[in-house]
Structures are given as structure tokens and as C-alpha cells.
Amino acid sequence: MRPRSIILFERVFLGSAILAALNVFLNYGSLREYSLRHGGAAASALLGMTIELVIALVFWFLIARRASNGAKWVLIALTAVGIPLSISDILSGKFNELSPLYVAISVVAFLLNIVAIWLLFRADSKDWFKFRRKEAPVDSSVFD
């Protein structure tokens, strides 16, 4: 049985991915215009969202269903790299051409992703990764 932290990770992580996808649909017009103004294709936002969603589903499966410690650390590394890049993009004004709603939803989705990663470091999650979905060994001294 999967621990509560892994179940919560799954819900928060998938919620973050769904929110990010909905964000693209809600703001598709401004994203399309932004892409065209900067020499991109009209469908760049949809293509990027599709790729992002597929990658998120792979991480979800490997982490929440297969207890892949390697996938967990790759997700952590990618998120760690994304934090300063996201802050830099916001502070540099890169998003000024986009809707404030898009930026706000993007920040919320990113913060949900960080919360999901935090759940992977709770005690029950650590044990689950350690024992690879097997039941933890029983401490027989409990019965003494």
C-alpha cells in the first residue's frame, strides 16, 4: 500500500500539471500572439503544453507508481534549476507582454510542484522509496 505522502504527492503533482495545461487553454490567444511576435509558430503554446504534460505524466508514473528514486531526483534537479530561471524571467519583465492571469496561474502551478516535491521528503515517503513499494520490515522488539 502506498503511503499517504505519496498519494498526496500524486494529487498535488497531477493537479499542478492539469492547472498548467488549463492555463495554456485559458490564455491561448495571448500566448499565440506572443509566440508569433517573437518568431514562433502559432501552435507553440499547445506543443509546449503537450510536451510538458507528457513529461509530467512520465514523472508521475515513475515516482508515484514505480517508486523510482532516480526519477525523484531528476524531478528535484529540474525544479531546482527552474526556480532561479522562473524568478529571473519574472523580474526581467519577460512576462510583461502576457496576461497577469497567466503569470499568476503559472506561479501557483509551480508552487504546487514544489509542495509535491516536499511531500517526497516526508518520513513515510522516504521509507517507501527505500523499500521500493514493499512493506517495511517489522520491528519484532515491539512485541517484547
Residue 143 lies in a domain: no
Task: Give every residue of the chain whose pLDDT is below 50, as ranges.
Answer: none
pLDDT of residue 2: 87
pLDDT of residue 125: 93
Grid cell, residue 90, equals 519574472
Q: What is the DSSP letter of 135?
A: P
Residue 139 lies in a domain: no
Task: Provide the residue range defining the domain that includes 106.
Answer: 4-133
Residue 144 lies in a domain: no
pLDDT of residue 140: 58
Count: domains in the chain: 1
Residue 58 lies in a domain: yes
pLDDT of residue 138: 54
Task: Using the structure block, give the residue that is written with the C-alpha cell 525523484.
Answer: 72
Rounded CA gap, 49 and 59, in Å? 15
Residue 119 lies in a domain: yes
Residue 138 lies in a domain: no
pLDDT of residue 128: 86
Rounded CA gap, 125 and 135, in Å? 12
Model's pTM, two decimal places? 0.86
pLDDT of residue 131: 81
Residue 140 lies in a domain: no
Residue 78 lies in a domain: yes
